[in-house]
Structure 1
């Protein structure tokens, strides 16, 4: 197990990846391995599955004008994001105390990053400062994620060893 933990997060999925060191006879360099994935069941639901009515403010008066009602859906969605961020934080804490993690690379949507940042600062050891990238890479394959992070020099590239 490597010292790198790479987190790829959006509103519906959190992927925990580690950087695996190559075997002694391999010359391909390190590669990412997906260890775990978390799903946010609330955000994956749509429309009527999540809300009683699909559109708010549809009550019409006698004059056929619609009355606007605020059902506070956005505050509920923010709360769902905050709860998902707590589950992600628990997963990161598990990896830190189970494996020799020294560096965390957090690639997440800006909204989720905003929820995760204060939690991580409160729970991570002071020696570990996560590197943050505000980008959604959840739909990419592991090899595409690895190439993306290598191109931006966020992960180390091992040179070929001559034997």
Structure 2
């Protein structure tokens, strides 16, 4: 069976699973998804003053109680944090590809994160790697439930 890597990602966590045949196929059903590694995005865990000097954004009080809106650049920082997390994910995919000789990559991520991943991950991967993606957050599911969902979408073979 060709090697398949399933990367399940949301804004906070990335999980890397491979499709593995059971040790005793005559007695066990398979294939199964086996989780190899997880990455966490520490910036998404930080909140309020842990991340920003001021928790309020885009307002400044002027004379006579008139508020003035302004852009404090937080969105650019958030975008950069997401690109860095996507870069860490791309590096992990490259490392797993070196050790497992992956032939197919399934990127399963929240829609916004998937867009960032497409930009960052694709240039770093080998050209012969088949990449499929799905805009869905499956990060909180167990490997068996992820497998079932992807098999129902015809992205993974049915269990035998």
| Matched residues, number | 159
Q: Which runs of 5+ in 2 are unaligned?
A: none
Cα-Cα RMSD: 1.6
User: Displacement, 1:61?
Assistant: 2.0
**8 Å Cα contact 2:86/2:121 also seen in 1:** no
SS state at 2:45 partner: coil
Judging by fraction of residues, say which structure has more strand.
2
User: Displacement, 1:121?
Assistant: 2.4
**CA–CA distance in 2 between the matches of 1:82 and 1:100?**
25
**CA–CA distance in 2 between the matches of 1:17 and 1:41?**
21
Q: Which runs of 5+ in 1 are unaligned?
A: none
SS state at 2:63 partner: coil
The equivalent of 1:60 in structure 2 is 61
Deviations 1:71-110 (A, max 9, x none): 1111110000000000000000001111121111110112
List structure 1 segments (4+ residues) > 6 angstroms apart after TM superposition. Answer: none
SS state at 1:153 partner: coil
TM (normalized to structure 2)? 0.92
User: Displacement, 1:133?
Assistant: 0.2
Deviations 1:41-81 (A, max 9, x none): 01111122111111123432221111212111111100000
**8 Å Cα contact 1:19/1:30 also seen in 2:** yes
User: Displacement, 1:129?
Assistant: 2.1
TM (normalized to structure 1)? 0.90
Judging by fraction of residues, say which structure has more helix.
2
Range 32-41 or range 67-76, more displaced:
67-76
Range 35-44 or range 61-70, more displaced:
61-70
User: Displacement, 1:130?
Assistant: 0.8
The equivalent of 2:116 in structure 1 is 115
